[in-house]
Amino acid sequence: MSDYGDNIAKYTDSVDEDVVAKIVKHLGIALRSKDASLVSSSDQTELDRVRESWLKKKLQRTESDAELNAAIDVVTEKLGRSNPNKCRVAFYYLLAENFGVLGEL
């Protein structure tokens, strides 16, 4: 399993490595930067970016901002609020899993 897959496995029962690879490919060169490879859950601008870019654009979610923000909160809790910087690949994977769209990636 990849390092990303190992990280995700801490938070979910099964990990689809093909989906992990697709998320990594989607993020591309951004993962080379430590800052860009993490989601700062204490930065509302960052969380808004996740909602707009990942949930609305990539996953084509049409729920209200409040519902999407609630899903982001669920993932933030799952990954642990005490650590404000969360692996972006894991964050995105768990959001897709939350909406049941892993197979659509």
- Which pLDDT tens digit goes with each residue over 4-61? 999 999 999 999 999 999 999 999 998 998 888 999 989 999 999 999 999 999 999 9
Q: Is the per-residue pLDDT at 1 higher than 70?
A: no
pLDDT tens-digit map of 54-101: 999 999 999 999 999 999 999 999 998 788 789 999 999 999 999 999
Task: Say what the pLDDT of residue 81 is.
Answer: 78
Determine how many CB atoms are found less than 10 A away from the CB of residue 78: 17
Q: Is the Cα torsion angle 93, 99, 101, 105 positive or negative in sign?
A: negative
Q: Taking a C-beta distance cutoff of 8 angstroms, is the pair 88, 39 a contact?
A: yes
Q: Taking a C-beta distance cutoff of 8 angstroms, is the pair 65, 44 a contact?
A: no
Task: Say what the pLDDT of residue 30 is.
Answer: 86
Q: Which domains does the chain have, with CATH numbers?
A: 3-104 (1.10.238.120)
List the structure tokens of 14: 């099964």
Q: Which of 18, 68, 19 is nearest to 47 (CA)?
A: 68
Task: Say what the pLDDT of residue 85 is.
Answer: 84
pTM of the model: 0.93
